[in-house]
Amino acid sequence: MQKTELASTSGSIPVPAILIQTDTHHLTSSIAYSFTLKRYLLITLLLMFITFPAYSAVIKSGCRKHGTQYVIDEPGCDLVAVNVNMCSGYCMSFSFVNPEENSITVHGRCCRMVDNEWVCLAYVQS
């Protein structure tokens, strides 16, 4: 007998139906297939990291700091131009499904400022 269920997550991400087999012959072959699949996945990941050693360098170089200037204009005050640093880049993210727990794990890494640098300014009125 075969039963079909619809898996869902709290994030409302639809997950395809998971086929649950209750026949012991199919269960045994399913476990062997799962083990083989996991083994090939591990081998593939290891080969990928060995073959592409610059992968992490590419990800890290996607975020860079650059300077920009803001003009502060308040009514009744002089115009002031302020130099600030910004970061620009891209976000890398990936997700994978865990069919045993009916959940989806999401991993993301984005470009952001992590250090603060305070600069003292002296304002001279003319």
Tens digit of pLDDT for each residue in 12-48? Answer: 454 555 555 555 555 556 666 677 888 888 888 777 7
- The pLDDT, as a whole number, for residue 15 is 52
> Could you give the number of structural domains in the chain?
1
How, if at all, do strands 103-109 and 92-98 pair? antiparallel
Chain-wide mean pLDDT for the chain? 69
Tell me if 90 is assigned to some domain.
Answer: yes
Tell me if 124 is assigned to some domain.
Answer: no
**Residue 49, amino acid:** F
pLDDT at 117 exceeding the cut of 60: yes
- What does the DSSP 8-state code read for residue 37? H
Tell me if 125 is assigned to some domain.
Answer: no
5 CB contacts (<8 Å, ≥6 apart)? 17, 18, 20
- Please give the average per-residue pLDDT across 68-85, as a whole number: 87
Residue 98: give the domain boundaries: 2-109
CB atoms within 10 A of CB 13: 13
Q: Which two tokens stand for residue 100?
A: 């045993």
Tell me if 105 is assigned to some domain.
Answer: yes
Tell me if 123 is assigned to some domain.
Answer: no
pLDDT at 114 exceeding the cut of 80: no
pTM greater than 0.85: no
Task: Compute the residue count for the chain.
Answer: 126
111 CB contacts (<8 Å, ≥6 apart)? 62, 63, 87, 88, 89, 90, 91
